[in-house]
Amino acid sequence: MHKDIRIFSFEDSQGLANSFVDLVEKYLYARLSESKPKPIGLPTGRTMIPIYKLLVDRLLLWPERELNELIHGWESFNLDEYIGLSLDDINSYRYFMFKYLGGPLGLKKNQLRVPFGETEEPEKEAYSYSKDLRFKGGLGFLILGLGVNGHIGFNEPPCSSDSCTRVVNLSKETRTQNSFSFGGNIDNVPIRAISIGLKEILSADEIHLVVTGIEKSEILYEFLHKNCSKSLPASWLKLHQKIFLWVDKDALNKVRLQGLNKH
């Protein structure tokens, strides 16, 4: 088990969301008084739905002045986007982000950045997305989800720690995992995406990896027990000085069982 990862574990995903949103709120509040705050890094995925919902509920309770400041100064970069979906496709990550966060908070498109996946020139888009992020000083507070094959963003295995923002091919496993929102049909899931690379991820000031649910139990066990390697992209996170892991009981299932078996 890795010593440097700080782990916060919870009975269920709702308990996790409550505590995690406490922290995000504090971070966002402190960000208001920074003169040149860095952009926030955001993921999509089912893990994030209850978190974004709760975050919106909490933020809308802020006093008007602070809420306006927050909205005015908002700047986030999402990790990834499918290539080839139209802007208003309900499966695009842009749609997801504006449904759960941007819309309810009243954020503008240029404040809640998501790679432009409808482009004819995805390589060019990946390059300019990473250039824009660099120009803003890189990511500050970064939230990540975990794919069942160990991907973060859309950094699929094998993936090295110095991979940059780029066009990626999606694995069959990932397309199967994500097919739930494409009518359950893997053939409807795009084959390529644009993803922020490990290099930009590892340059963030602090990283919060959120893992919930029994289906992540196996990969979470591997993440905690295996050394850094290309075959497990999330494993590179262990190289970061400020990595926090937020997990619920279901995701920890295999870790707990293996621990018990040893005695």
Q: Does 76 bind ligand GLP (CB under 6 A)?
A: no
Greatest Cα pair distance in the chain: 57
The helix (run of H) or strand (run of E) holding residue 127 is helix 122-135
- Give 21 or 70: the residue with its C-beta nearer to ligand GLP: 21
Stretch that binds ligand GLP, among 11-19, 144-152, 184-192, 247-255 (CB under 6 A): 144-152
Q: Does 147 bind ligand GLP (CB under 6 A)?
A: yes
CB of 75 to ligand GLP, least distance (A): 19
Q: Does 145 bind ligand GLP (CB under 6 A)?
A: yes
Q: Single out the residue of 80, 71, 61 nearest to residue 31, CA to CA.
A: 71
Residue 156 annotated as catalytic: yes
CB of 47 to ligand GLP, least distance (A): 3
Token digits for 202? Answer: 């590892």
Distance CA 182, CA 190 (A): 10
Residues 6+ apart with CB under 8 A from 34: none
Residue 149 annotated as catalytic: yes
Give whole-number Cα distances, 231 to 1, 135, 155, 234, 239, in Å. Answer: 18, 31, 11, 9, 15
CB of 212 to ligand GLP, least distance (A): 8
Q: Does 46 bind ligand GLP (CB under 6 A)?
A: yes
Position among 130, 161, 165, 178 found at the interface with ligand GLP (CB under 6 A) = 178
For residue 43, say if its preceding peptide bond is cis, omega within 30 degrees of 0.
no
CB of 244 to ligand GLP, least distance (A): 15
Distance CA 62, CA 115 (A): 30
Stretch that binds ligand GLP, among 112-120, 142-150, 157-165, 224-232 (CB under 6 A): 142-150
The single residue of 78, 81, 151, 240 carrying the catalytic annotation is 151
Position among 17, 51, 70, 79 found at the interface with ligand GLP (CB under 6 A) = 79
DSSP alpha helix (H) spans, 172-249: 172-178, 198-202, 217-225
Position among 37, 115, 138, 153 found at the interface with ligand GLP (CB under 6 A) = 153
Q: Single out the residue of 200, 198, 209, 205 nearest to residue 34, CA to CA.
A: 205
**Catalytic annotation, residues:** 80, 149, 151, 156
> Interface with ligand GLP by CB under 6 A: which residues?
43-47, 79-80, 145-147, 153-154, 174, 178
